[in-house]
A and B are shown apart, each in its own frame.
Chain A
Amino acid sequence: MNVVIVGCGLVGRTVAQQLSNENVDITLIDNDYQTLKTVSDTYDVMGFCGNGASYEVQVEAETSKADLLIAVTPSDEINILCCLLAKKLGAKNTIARVRNPEYIHQLEFMKEDLGLSMSINPEYAAAEEIMNLIRFPQALNVQGFENGRLNMVDLLLEEGNPLIGLKLYEIYKKYNIRLLICAVNRNKEVIIPNGDTLLCENDVITISTTQTELEKFFEAAGIRKKVIDSAMIIGGSKIAYYLTQKLVESGVDVKIIEKDEQRCVQLCETLPSKVQIVNGHGMDEDTLDEEGMDEYDAFIALTGVDEENTIISMYANAKGIDKVITKINKMSIFDMIKSADMDSIVFPKLITSNIIVSYVRAMKNSVGSTVKALHKIGDRKLDALQFEIKENAQIIGSPFKNLKFKENNVLIAGIIRNEQVIIPDGNSSIQAGDSVIVVTHASDLHDINDILR
């Protein structure tokens, strides 16, 4: 498959990295020669220097032969123009990143005319992910499938957690709750567990289940329940805007601290009046104390500077706030941040690139299924894929205990059938029309049949 990516920023780079490992031919267009050179030296892609929205450059880069053009430059307008041009030249599909809330509705309205296959709003996607974390405050990370019907929740087993020292089958037997532990991260080593895997202190486990079942499980296992009624947000960015709307909807008190007065006024105009907006600097202890940060259940650092977010979050952690969420833009400091003791981290760029990658995988018309969504779990080392099962898939009908799966490499973490979530066991089987969530080590799974030996 032929993919052209315009814009060598963080998202462009992450998508290029992901896809170049999946046997996709990638051409990158960017107008900065040095960035382009670094990226094309690092990944197996071809670089093309020039303005992606110009006709000559697109002709030379042969976007006409592309199956997909992804426009992820910093500017919305250029992205839209790129897609428009590529579509005219003959590209089959186009994806544009559009972030400005003012364009969002307009895009839906003009999608046909612009020839856009999909538009991505990373800020909105990030807000959704943060919202998930607020819903499950005990979790380090939450990935929702099918609008949050099924969730994958990362849980750190701190000292005193009743699950420590148990084997998985003992846990399933003891609590008798419909859930599956689908990944265990121990000292940076991530495994897909089986029934005999023993849980230790400081493991991070990934649980696949529904929200109600999870709450039952927390209760039964005596894991301290946190409820978030109030949240303080530092930085009035676009993510803050989307997030606040969602928080208010679910009845959470929100206070936003934003340093730019103009932006504060803007937020006041667009957000519901019950939201408190404070004009102050998040890097100022006095401001934070004066606004009563330790009275809040959740603290979310969303400024544009990664370093500020990190420091503010560390301070909030030290103050003992229940849930601290940090937004980090630079993927390049992923490991550095992980080694610092942070609660929950959100990477908007990663979310965006996951959306794009799952779209590309879905495009690769496979025989028995199509990929509907892709999430990275277990320290980014595992893929959780959602497949839509077509009628001719081999796997249909037979109970799992009769099937031969690739050893230690795949796990079926959930089935969504007629909007109902089924947590599978050995007797479950798949039917046509199901949505199946598979956890795997392999990074190039395209079809549900690939999980069989």
Chain B
Amino acid sequence: MNRKMVRTTIGQVMIVEAVLMVLPLIVALIYKEYSLLLPFIIPMTFLAVIGYLMSRKKIENMTIYARESFVIVALSWIVVSMFGALPFVLSGEIPSYVDALFEIVSGFTTTGASILTDVEAMSRSLLFWRSFSHWIGGMGVLVFLLALVPNAGNRSMNIMKAESPGPSVSKLVPKTKETAKILYTIYLGITVIEIILLLIAGMPLFDSILHTFGTVGTGGFGVKADSYGSYNAACQWITTIFMMLSGTNFTFFYYLIIKTYYKAFTMEEVRWYYGIFAAATIIITINILHMYSGVFESLTHAAFTVATAMTTTGYATTNFDLWPSFSKTIVVVLMFFGACAGSTGGGIKTSRLVIALKYCYYEVKKMLFPKTVNIVKMDGKAVEDSVIRGTNVFILLYCFIAIVSVIIISFDGFDMTSNFTAIISALSNIGPGLSMVGPAGNFSAYSNLSKLVITLDMLLGRLEIFPILLLMAPSNWKKSKKKR
């Protein structure tokens, strides 16, 4: 284990966080919330000083392997969350540290679940920090670091793999640094376009910036108690479209930019993703037609809700908890599926789902005709065995963790639907569930233990289980005998 490299990288991440905190500080200045300056400056100072001390020494051995990468990613996220929670506590607006941690982890993991009972009472700069954490967490703080650091080293790809979602992460261009830059450029581009469009559609500037952070990071923190309910249909449709775009594999946009349209539009995952979206929207529109005043209104709500569930964003235009149980079930199932690999969304991911379904189909076929030879293909290419195995293990672990978590939080005595959807929504990084934790409710009623479990689930979900799980493996912490 190359601990020096782990320490240095985490130090760098801390400095990056300190710099990013400048933005909410500026917001506090603009809105004259002077009492909030200190709650930001204190953690910033700590981050900057500790980060500097940790990354100050130049290290000779930059070699890291997959396990160092997992540890770096997991620890970075934990450290970033722990410091990110401080402004809430120090300002006194969320006095309990557990609650603040829940809130900020929910932000960084782009979950969007909240323990706040009254969002509108929060100060502007804290609301900004909350939503901005979606934006940072969406593409990943280490990917951001990789785009910045001049010499990320040869094995930086391992770090990117550990942080980016999807069964097999690949590069867009030969250099990791360039790949990270391209990803962030696309991300920034989508962000700017959405802010402008929302402004044109009539949303106030502050709201449109925050909602854009929530949308492109597929997070879901808003500024209003009824989330998106009070905005006009144009805003709702713009958000629907951008949620879907942010949940698309970013490779798709890269192909568009370099004008290889053929490759872009034949991406199997993207086709499935939009296919599922269209099918679910139509079914739900028909199912809820009687509840709204016309086809257009029910289509708007259906499309928005399907997008919010699939991309794991978690906004709501309407309280879908009141929908017929058929529609509700579809929404919950979509939460499982999640967005595309290589996007900012969470969940199991469409590509994993497709691989698993194809694999199941072939296995069943093999039972009928034992001598058939089949291989799972994606985009016309054979999927490697290791990827299939990884996919299966991931889905299994996902279910195991969900079950264990549901059991733990059911000690609190709430109903089954709430508990179950709360965990699914945490693991898939969605935000609201159904019943008590539905679009109109929040997570504040849970005990501290449950909140911590849900917090952990959010991290597990965002980092796709393995980094956090491997962090706990004792063999990871053996010291190499010879001092390097």
Contacts and interface: CB of A to CB of B under 8 A. Distances in A.
Interface of A: 2, 17, 20-21, 25-27, 33, 40-46
Question: Interface residues of B: mostly helix, strand, loop or mixed?
Answer: loop
Interface string B141-178: 00000000000111111100100000000110111111
Interface residues of B, number: 18
Interface of A is mostly: mixed
Given A33-B384, A41-B66, A25 B173 contact: yes
A41 B171 contact: no
Given A33-B384, A41-B66, A46 B158 contact: no
Nearest to A49: B381
A42 B152 CA distance: 12
A46 B174 contact: yes
Interface string B324-368: 000000000000000000000000000000000000000000000
Contacts of A40: 157, 171
Contact of B174 (A21, A27, A41): A27
17 contacts: A2-B174, A17-B154, A21-B154, A25-B178, A27-B174, A33-B384, A40-B157, A41-B66, A41-B158, A43-B155, A44-B152, A44-B157, A44-B174, A44-B175, A44-B176, A44-B177, A45-B174
A273 B156 CA distance: 56
Contacts of B154: 17, 20-21, 42-44
Nearest to A45: B174
Nearest to A60: B263
- 7 closest Cβ pairs, A-B complex: A25-B174, A46-B174, A43-B154, A46-B171, A44-B154, A26-B174, A44-B176
B384 A46 contact: no
Contacts of A21: 154
Nearest to B263: A60
Given A41-B155, A43-B155, A44-B177, 13 more contacts: A2-B174, A17-B154, A20-B154, A25-B175, A40-B171, A41-B158, A41-B161, A42-B154, A42-B155, A44-B153, A44-B157, A46-B173, A46-B174
A37 to B, nearest CB: 8
Contacts of B174: 2, 25-27, 44-46
A44 B173 CA distance: 10
Most buried by B among A20, A25, A27, A46: A46
A40 B179 CA distance: 14
B438 to A, nearest CB: 43
Contacts of B155: 41-44
A122 to B, nearest CB: 24
A406 to B, nearest CB: 17
Contacts of B171: 40, 46
A398 B170 CA distance: 51
Most chain A beta-carbon contacts within 10 A, residue among B153, B171, B174, B176? B174
A44 B384 contact: no
Nearest to B172: A46
A382 to B, nearest CB: 16
Nearest to A20: B154
A25 B101 CA distance: 41
Contacts of A43: 154-155
B25 to A, nearest CB: 35
Contact of A44 (B66, B156, B161, B170): B156
A33 B177 CA distance: 23
Contacts of A44: 152-157, 174-177
Nearest to A43: B154
Contacts of B176: 44
